[in-house]
Amino acid sequence: MIPFAMRYHSTRGNSDPVSFAASALAGLAPDGGLYIPETIPEYRGSVRKSLGTMRFQEIAFQTILPYVKDDIPSAALEDLVSAAFTFTAPLVPVSSRLVLELFHGPTAAFKDFGARFMARCFAWLRRGESKPLSILVATSGDTGGAVADGFFGVEGITVTVLYPKGRVSELQEKQIAGLGGNISALAVEGSFDDCQRLVKSAFADKELRASRTLSSANSINISRLIPQAVYYAAAAGRAAAGKTDSGLPLTMAVPSGNFGNLTAGLYAMAMGAPIASFIAATNINKTVPDYLESGKYKTMPSQATISNAMDVGAPSNFERMIAHWSYRDLKSRIRGFSVTDDETRKTIADVFNRGGYYLDPHGAVGWAAVSKAGKLPGPAAILATAHPAKFAQTVEPITGPVPVPPSIKSALSRTARAETIPPELSALKEFLLRRE
C-alpha cells in the first residue's frame, strides 16, 4: 500500500474507494454516488500566505496537486494547468462591491475552467491507450459548449453532444456544433430529458460498450469540480492581501444550480483560502436556501427562469456537500437567498444605471442575493458566471446593446453542423457505430 495516497469515496458509501484517475474516468461511482476525496488537503502555510501574489496558473498547480499527485506528476500537472487556464479571472470593483469575472474563457462561462482542465486531464490519464474514448454529453445549452470546446482537438477522444433540437440559442448551437473535428453534434427531436435518457441507455447498451470505451463529462465529475476551487483561492488571496479593498476576507456570492461551483468554493475554504463565508444565490429553484433555512431537504420539479443555467430543483452536488459537512457546518458557512426574475431584471437595470456595468442574469441573481443579505463583515465578491452577451436577449432590452467579446464573435462566425436524430436509442447507436 502506498502511504498517504489520496483515495476517493462514493457519497453513498457502497463502492470501494478508488484513485483520482479511476474516479475521474468513471464519473459516477458504481453505487450511483458521487466521488469525493477522503480528506480535503490544506495549503502549506507558505502557499496560503502567497495566494495574493502568485500567478493564476501557480495557484492552480498548488491547489490541484494534492488531489491528483498519485496519478499526475508535478511536471505533467504544470503543463496541464498552463494549457487549460489560458485566461484569467479578474476581480473587478463595481459600485462598492467586487465582481469575480469568470467569463473570459472560450465559451464565455465559468464552466470553461472545469471543462478545459477535465479534457486535458483525461488525455493525460489515457496516454498510451489504443482504444479511443467516446464521450457522450446531454446538454440543455451551456455545458455542451464548454465540453465541446474543452475537448476540441484532444487526441484519442471523440465527443458527441446531444441537445434538444430548436431549444438552444443560436450561439449555444454554434458553440456545440460549429467546431467539427473530434466533436460531433446531434440535434435530438425531443427535450433535454430525451437527450439525457438516450445517453443513459447508450451507457447500458452491451453492444456499444463492447465496441468502445464510453465516458461522460457532466458536471458531477470530480475532475471538473476540483479546478473550480482555484479561482476562489486566487480571488480570496488577492483581497486578503489588500489588493482590492480593505484586506478583510471576502464573502463570496455564488449563483447556483447544481451546486458544483459552491461545493468547489467550500473546498477552497477548507484548504485554507481566506474566505469569510458564502452566499448561495438561487433563482426560484430554491431547494438549498430552503434547506439552510429549515434543515429539511426537499427536491422539487425545476421551474423555468431567465437565469436558466440554474433551473435545477434537485441539485446533484448537494450529496457532496452533506457528505463532507453537517447541517451546522453548512449553516455556519453559507446563507441562502432566492431571487425572482423581476428582481433579477431590476438588478441588471440598477447596476447598469449606477455604474455602467453589464451583469448577465446569473450574476445578477448573485448581486441581488448580496443585497438581501444586509450588512456583511467585509467586502462582497459576486461570481459572474457568464458573459452578459451570452444572454443578450434578456440583458439588451434593459441596458441596450452589450459589447460582444472576441470569443463569442468567433463562435457566431461558425456554421453549426449537426445531424438530426429521432429520440431513439437505435438512431444514436447507428450514429456512434458508423462514426469510427
Ligand X SMILES: *Cc1c(COP(=O)(O)O)cnc(C)c1O
Query: How many amino acids of this chain bind ligand X (CB under 6 A)?
Result: 16
Q: Which of 37, 260, 265, 378 binds ligand X (CB under 6 A)?
A: 260
Q: Which residue, 101 or 142, is less far from ligand X as judged by CB?
A: 142
* Piece of the chain touching ligand X by CB under 6 A; list 5-13, 115-123, 182-190, 252-260: 252-260
Kindly state the helix (H) or strand (E) to which residue 136 belongs, with its residue range.
Answer: strand 133-138
Task: Answer yes or no whether residue 257 interacts with ligand X by CB under 6 A.
Answer: yes
| Contact string (CB under 6 A) for ligand X, positions 74-113, x = contact | -----------------------------------x-x--
Decide: 311 and 285 in contact? Cβ < 8 Å: yes
Burial class, 152, CB count within 10 angstroms (exposed 0-12 / middle 13-18 / buried 19+): middle
Catalytic residue among 49, 69, 111, 372: 111
**Three-state secondary structure call for residue 106:** coil
Cβ atoms within 10 A of the Cβ of 408, count? Answer: 22
* Residue 10 or 219 with smaller CB distance to ligand X: 219
> Does the protein bind ligand X through residue 224 (CB under 6 A)?
no
Exactly one of 362, 394, 407, 408 binds ligand X (CB under 6 A); that residue is 362
Q: Please list every residue from 366 through 405 that binds ligand X, using CB under 6 A.
A: 385-386
Residue 255 or 274 having the CB closest to ligand X? 255
**Which residues does residue 146 pair with via DSSP β-bridges, in sequence order?**
none
Q: From the DSSP assignment, how many helices (H) and strands (E) are in the chain? A: 20, 13
From 54-62, 249-257, 289-297, 418-426, span contacting ligand X (CB under 6 A): 249-257
Q: Minimum distance from CB of 310 to ligand X (Å)?
A: 5
CA atoms within 13 A on the CB side of 104: 14
Residue 310 touches ligand X, criterion: CB under 6 A: yes
* Cβ at position 45, least distance to ligand X in Å: 30
Task: Tell me whether residue 69 is one of the annotated catalytic residues.
Answer: no
The stretch among 10-18, 29-37, 253-261, 399-407 that binds ligand X (CB under 6 A) is 253-261
In the complex, what is the shortest distance from the CB of residue 255 to ligand X, in angstroms, rounded to a whole number? 5
Residue with cell 434547506: 291
> Which residue, 76 or 314, has its beta carbon nearer to ligand X?
314
Exposure class string for 15-46: b at 16+ Cβ within 10 A, else e: bebbbbbbbbbbbbbeeebbbbbeebbebeee
d(CA 217, CA 148): 10
Q: Which of 194, 148, 187 is nearest to 168 (CA)?
A: 187
Is there binding between residue 309 and ligand X (CB under 6 A)? yes
By rule CB under 6 A, what string of x and - marks binding of each residue 136-155 to ligand X? Answer: ------x-------------
Closer residue to ligand X in complex, CB, 47/146: 146
State the Cα–Cα distance between residues 295 and 282, nearest whole angstrom.
Answer: 17
Measured between alpha carbons, how far is 231 from 92 in angstroms, rounded to an integer? 13
Output 268 or 432, the one with its CB closest to ligand X: 268
Choice between 134 and 258, CB closer to ligand X: 258
What is the DSSP secondary-structure string of 198-263?
HHHHHHT-HHHHHHSEEEE--TT-HHHHGGGHHHHHHHHHHHHTTSSSSSPPEEEEEE-SSSHHHH
- Show which residues are catalytic: 111
* Residues making contact with ligand X (CB under 6 A): 109, 111, 142, 219, 255-261, 309-310, 362, 385-386
